[in-house]
Amino acid sequence: MEKKTCLYDKHVALGALMQPFGGFIMPIQYSNITDEHNTVRQHCGVFDVSHMGEVTVKGPDAERYVSHIFTNDVRGAEPGKIFYGMMCYENGGTVDDLLVYKMAENDFFLVINAANIDKDVEWMKSHLEGFDVEFENRSEYYGQLAVQGPEAEQVVEEVLGLECKDLVFYTTKTIDVAGETVIISRTGYTGEDGFEIYASHAFINEQWDKLMASGRCKPCGLGCRDTLRFEVGLPLYGDELSSEISPVMAGLSMFCKLDKPEFIGKEALAAQKAEGVKQKVVGIELSDRAIPRHGYKVLHEGEEIGEVTTGYHTISSDKSVCMALIDARFAKLGTELEIQIRKKTFPGVVVKKKFYDKHYKK
């Protein structure tokens, strides 16, 4: 039985198409994916992302602990800084990709994927020994909104009355509103400027109502969240990252700081980096309009060399493109290969896995 977010009734009242995702019953679209996608690229869209998991790590060894389980380097960072990175298994496979918010010295807020909450919490708990930290799974408490798009800053400031102009990209702060501490960050998963707000279910409901009543943004579903993140080459756990797909294979080495003294999976990732990987996630562009979907086979001269991880006919650039995990020997830009789509094969070429430019406010 899927869980419901704190905004479930509001999605149903808006007539959203509701489908299971990551253990939750989530809004996929309200109007249509193309329209919602364009709204985020051009104006402002709001997503209920309350399904995401939140974990807090506090205490004397919090920094040392986070550094141990996380591939990126949080050591000595300024409070308010946010890091993207992964948790890896010893063999380099990915447990999850996540955001780590440094709220204060030895006080961290970790945002993990909905589908992985149980697995991640178990994994993190199993590595607590030897660290003096207070670890708490706060996923049930927090609701989360993502306000995304070039007009997001004005909407958050003027409609919600939350001051956010001062935040630079990938930073966070807390705001006390009516006795409640709200977390706000300049982050997102769309390739556009935007903010994410974490607070109690009651607060999230109030903000949602204000946003809907304002007429200055549209509700957007997970359908366009996927097309938006895909176009700018952001990975989705389960597609481009998994226990079988390491960050190095996924082309995310820049988030794995191999110069740190240690973290779980470091040796394996360092070896992959040094020796090269057998498979890599690449971008592929087709010349036809046919759409490569997750799981479709990638071929080179008729021989199977991998499969599609995510594919769309992109909305912003009107091209059929995909990300695919393929034999690294064919991963060079410009390599010609084919994708099997139902009964036919379609020619494609390896391209950078970024099909649209990000528009972040740095």
Partner 1 sequence: MAKVIEGLFYSESHEYVKVEGDFAYVGITDYAQHALGNVVYVDMPEVDDEVEADEDFGAVESVKAASDLISPVSGTVVEVNEALEDKPELLNEDAFENWIMKVQLSDKSELDALMDATAYEELCNKE
Task: State the nearest-atom distance from the C-beta of 345 to partner 1, in Å.
Answer: 13
The CA R_g of the chain, rounded to the nearest whole Å, is 20
The reply on whether position 81 binds partner 1 by CB under 8 A is no
Residue 30 vs residues 149, 191, 219: alpha-carbon distances, Å = 17, 21, 7
Task: State the nearest-atom distance from the C-beta of 54 to partner 1, in Å.
Answer: 28
**Residues 205-244 vs partner 1: string with x where CB under 8 A?**
------------------x---x-----------------
Q: Determine if residue 105 is labeled as part of a ligand binding site.
A: no
Residues 189/229, Cβ–Cβ less than 8 Å: yes
**Residues 18-57 vs partner 1: string with x where CB under 8 A?**
----------xx--xxx-----------------------
If phi over 0 gives left and psi between -120 and 50 gives alpha, with beta otherwise, what is residue 334?
left
Determine the 3-state secondary structure of 273 from DSSP.
helix
The reply on whether position 342 binds partner 1 by CB under 8 A is yes
**Residues 256-295 vs partner 1: string with x where CB under 8 A?**
---------------------------------xxx-x--
Q: What is the DSSP letter of 155?
A: I
Task: State the nearest-atom distance from the C-beta of 292 to partner 1, in Å.
Answer: 10
For residue 216, give every residue at least 6 positions away whose Cβ sits within 8 Å of its Cβ, in sequence order, or none. Answer: 44, 151, 154, 155, 158, 159
Nearest to 89 by CA among 276, 268, 279: 268
d(CA 123, CA 37): 35
Task: State the nearest-atom distance from the C-beta of 32 to partner 1, in Å.
Answer: 5
Task: State the nearest-atom distance from the C-beta of 33 to partner 1, in Å.
Answer: 4
The b/e string for 141-161 (b: 16+ C-beta within 10 A; e otherwise) is ebbbbbbbbbbbbebbeebbe
Which of 8, 83, 135, 312: binder of partner 1 (CB under 8 A)?
Answer: 312
Q: By rule CB under 8 A, what count of residues binds partner 1?
A: 18
Q: Which residues bind partner 1 (CB under 8 A)?
A: 28-29, 32-34, 223, 227, 289-291, 293, 312-313, 315, 320, 341-342, 344
Question: Which residues fall in the annotated binding site for substrate?
Answer: 196
